[in-house]
């Protein structure tokens, strides 16, 4: 019998809405999403761990993860840089997600540039799909990926949140 992965969810207030922070017993981030997209987050968890492969329990314990995310929103952008992340996903998705964490705060790259960075210049569409299925938004900064023409393209939390996150990083760096 396969062991069920116990996950914990914290709900924290941010300037752009309530955020869900999901971690495991070892305090690795497993998912970060917005409360208004909780159903999507649960579907992704089912996809990565199986419908019966995890249990999601509420917790009100503030820990290093939620403290660091709160600090990021307070302007200490580097507070989330070294948070431990443990995700499901395919090897390709995880490669894209690792590359996202290397995008410097306050900077943006296009999907094509991200594809080049991982050595797969022809995989622009696949990079876009992997970016869009990132389960750990903000910490794995998929919001820093934009269109080749500089436009703000899709973001799972909505374009207005993406715009806010990019402007927040620019303000804090000034």
Q: Can you give the chain as a three-state secondary structure string?
A: CCCCEEEEEEEEEECCEEEEEEEECCCCEEEEEEHHHHHHHHHHHHHHHCCCCEEEEECCCCCHHHHHHHHHHCCCHHHHCCCCECCCCCHHHHHHHHHHCCCCCCCCEEHHHHHHHCCCCCCHHHHHHHHHCCCECCCCCHHHEECCCCCCCCCCCCHHHHHHHHHHHHHHHC
Q: Which residues contact 150 (CB under 8 A, 6 or more apart)?
A: none
Of residues 29, 100, 142, 165, which has the active-site annotation?
Answer: 142
- Whether residue 146 contacts residue 152, with contact meaning beta carbons closer than 8 Å, is answered with yes
Per the annotation, the verdict on 142 as an active-site residue is: yes
- Whether residue 139 contacts residue 29, with contact meaning beta carbons closer than 8 Å, is answered with yes
Q: Catalytic residues, which ones?
A: 142
């Amino acid at each position: 019998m396969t062991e069920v992965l116990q996950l914990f969810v914290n709900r924290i207030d941010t300037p752009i809405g309530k955020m869900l922070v999901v971690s495991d017993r070892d305090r690795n981030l497993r998912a970060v999403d917005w409360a208004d997209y909780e159903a999507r987050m649960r579907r992704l968890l089912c996809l990565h761990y199986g419908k019966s492969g995890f249990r999601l329990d509420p917790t009100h314990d503030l820990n290093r993860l939620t403290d660091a995310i709160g600090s990021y929103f307070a302007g200490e952008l580097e507070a989330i840089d070294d948070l431990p992340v443990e995700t499901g996903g395919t090897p390709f998705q995880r490669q894209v997600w690792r590359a996202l964490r290397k995008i410097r705060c306050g900077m943006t790259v296009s999907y094509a540039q991200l594809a080049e960075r991982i050595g797969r210049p022809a995989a622009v569409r696949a990079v876009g799909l992997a970016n869009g299925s990132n389960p750990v938004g903000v910490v794995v900064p998929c919001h820093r990926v934009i269109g080749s023409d500089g436009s703000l393209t899709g973001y799972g939390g909505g374009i207005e949140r993406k715009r806010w996150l990019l402007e927040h990083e620019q303000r804090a760096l000034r």
